[in-house]
Amino acid sequence: MGTGPGWRRTVADEELTRRPLRSILHHRSEDRLPDEGALAPFSRATAWLNSPPLTPDGLRGRVVLVDFWTFTCVNWLRTAPYLRAWHAKYAGAGLTIVGVHTPEFGFEHELPTVTDRVRRLGIEYAVAVDSDYGVWGDFANQYWPAVYLADASGRLRYHHFGEGEYAMTEMVVQQLLHDAGATGVDGELVSPQPRGLEVAADWATLRSPETYLGYAQSSGFVSEIDGLYDQSHDYPGGGEPSLNEWDLAGRWTRARDAAHLDRPRGRIAFSFQARDVNLVMGPAPGAAAVPFQVLLDGRPPGDAHGTDVDAEGRGLLDAQDTYQLIRQHDRVGPRLFEIEFQAQGAEAYCFTFG
């Protein structure tokens, strides 16, 4: 998921959108972009989607945008509308986007699953499947999402980690295309209309951090007991966690990367403050789909329901993915979120907020 500099959108990006494009490009022409070294190879990709294998030599003459992503990362999902729009606008002018899919969770290694998500997300540019972290290592990358821009001679000239800086990134694309001899490039910036999980976070009201449920990276778990790792245990639940704390109720096994429900009617409660509540989760391999119920302060969410539940808070866990469970439209303050799974076999990995 998004970490490090990707946690908050920078003020600089908002300021750039209010400055005249021509003056910024002129400034960039005078103060040349730094040379950050050669574009690293993609030779350690384990598969390619939407393209035959690409190489730095084969891409000479084209501007290259390398985007590290993984399909459950909400920080990346909020950048996806811009990537699709840049591909549509600039591919014909000489831009090649290479999306490097480097998985975080085990189920994100499955090629059929990645292929399905590429299709569902409307990604038409080249995707290097990086299941063994080979391309990640060759770029010395550390973040989802991360963007690297190379000029037509194969030299890296710009990078950005995390969300935001869309205006600056696009202006660098335009400048590198201009330097490569492209003509007739429209200087206006793209204006995508995101929906669902792709809508930018409400940073002004966001007070809850990304929170993992597996013991390897978890924080804020009320019933944390080291000796119960990887063991099935009956958690009593019942209390109301403090802000940014969470608890389990029912019989669960907490593994390194997820909490696994061992009996029906297990529950997770999380005290949060944010417009959106998202949860990376899915049925265990081979398990049937799991119906679930979401509550907000003990009641069905109504108009505050996310795209993956109805107004009564009902949803179906039928794939391992990021689910949007709550999207509030009124004043945002501290609330109690609860989700109850009606059958065993649910796996819950990570909460994210927006």
pLDDT in tens, 93-114: 999 999 999 999 999 999 999 9
CA dist list (Å): 60 to 38, 54, 154, 177:
12, 11, 6, 13
On the question of pLDDT at 6 being above 80, the answer is no
pLDDT band at 21 (very low <50, low <70, confident <90, very high): very low
Pick from 133, 122, 72: which is nearest to 321 by CA? 72
* pLDDT of 261: 98
Q: What is the pLDDT of residue 176?
A: 98
Please determine whether the domains at 4-198 and 211-353 fall in the same fold group of CATH. Answer: no
Residue range 132-143: mean pLDDT, rounded: 98
Measured CA to CA, the distance from residue 276 to residue 266 in angstroms comes to 22
Residue 100 pairs in a beta bridge with: 68, 128
Between the alpha carbon of residue 249 and those of residues 198, 232, 238, the distances in Å are 31, 12, 7
β-pairing verdict for 211-212 and 346-353: antiparallel
Q: What is the pLDDT of residue 315?
A: 98
**C-alpha angle with apex 135: 131 to 140, nearest 5 degrees?**
120
pLDDT of residue 31: 53
How many helices (H) and strands (E) the chain has is answered by 7, 17
Q: Is the pLDDT of residue 338 over 70?
A: yes
Euclidean distance between CA atoms 178 and 184, whole angstroms: 9
Whether the per-residue pLDDT at 16 is higher than 70: the answer is: no
- Fold of the 4-198 domain: Glutaredoxin (3.40.30)
pLDDT at 271 over 70: yes
Half-sphere exposure of 13 (CA within 13 A, CB side): 15
Band (pLDDT 50/70/90 cuts) for residue 238 is: confident
Q: Note whether 83 and 161 are within 8 A (CB).
A: no
Buried b (16+ CB within 10 A) or exposed e, 28-38: beeeebeeeee
What is the average pLDDT across 305-331?
A: 97
Give the pLDDT score at 240.
82
Share of the chain above pLDDT 70, in %: 91
- Regarding predicted confidence, which is higher, 64 or 1? 64
Least confident window among 118-132, 142-156, 225-239, 256-270: 225-239
Tell me what pLDDT residue 134 has.
Answer: 98
pLDDT at 56 over 90: yes
| Domain limits, the chain | 4-198, 211-353
73 confidence band (pLDDT: 50, 70, 90): very high
Computed over every residue of the chain, the mean pLDDT equals 92
User: What does the pLDDT average to over 242-263?
Assistant: 98
Task: Say if residue 226's pLDDT is above 90.
Answer: no
Element at 296 (helix H, strand E): strand 290-296
Q: Record the pTM.
A: 0.90
Instruction: Evaluate if residue 41 carries a pLDDT over 70.
Output: yes
Question: Side-chain half-sphere of 327: how many Cα atoms within 13 Å?
Answer: 15
Instruction: Determine contact, residues 86/93, Cβ cutoff 8 Å.
Output: no
Q: Residue 301: which of 328, 332, 334 has the closest Cα?
A: 328
Going by CATH, does the domain composed of 211-353 fall within 2.60.120.260? yes
Q: Which two tokens stand for residue 225?
A: 């007991």
pLDDT digits (tens, 9 = 90+) for 187-220: 999 999 999 999 999 999 999 999 999 999 999 9
